[in-house]
Amino acid sequence: MKGKTRFDEFQRSMNVAPNILTGRLSNLVENGFLVRRRYSEHPPRDEYVLTDIGRDFQSVVQAMIGFGNRNFSETSGSVTFVDTETGREADPITVDRHTGEAISLPRFVLRSNESQVL
């Protein structure tokens, strides 16, 4: 989600052992978050590209980062979102895709498939 797609880029940015990274990438591919795409035949090299599922999961990661920054950070979060146009830090929230309204109680409630409000 940070623009990196190649094994060596992941390894440098995460400082993780190659066997650990291979396992993690394989797991993400198997679960549909990433797809492997060959970018070099000699030597054989693959890149890892986000799928629709991987891009959709980005909102979950954003929500978790916002939650952690608001509730567990002494000053500011170790990772923050910054508006590239204004330089202002953003505080991610979950919004309804159709209305743009923040999803929060009491306006929005959980409902089961049986129309019961939970």
Query: What is the pLDDT averaged over residues 11-34?
Result: 93
Convert the pLDDT of each residue in 10-19 to its tens digit.
888 888 899 9
pLDDT at 116 over 70: no
pLDDT at 70 over 80: yes
Domains of the chain by residue range: 7-50, 57-90
Q: Binning pLDDT at 50, 70 and 90, where does residue 60 land?
A: very high
Question: Distance from CA of residue 28 to its chain's centroid?
Answer: 12
Average pLDDT, the chain: 88
Entry pTM: 0.72
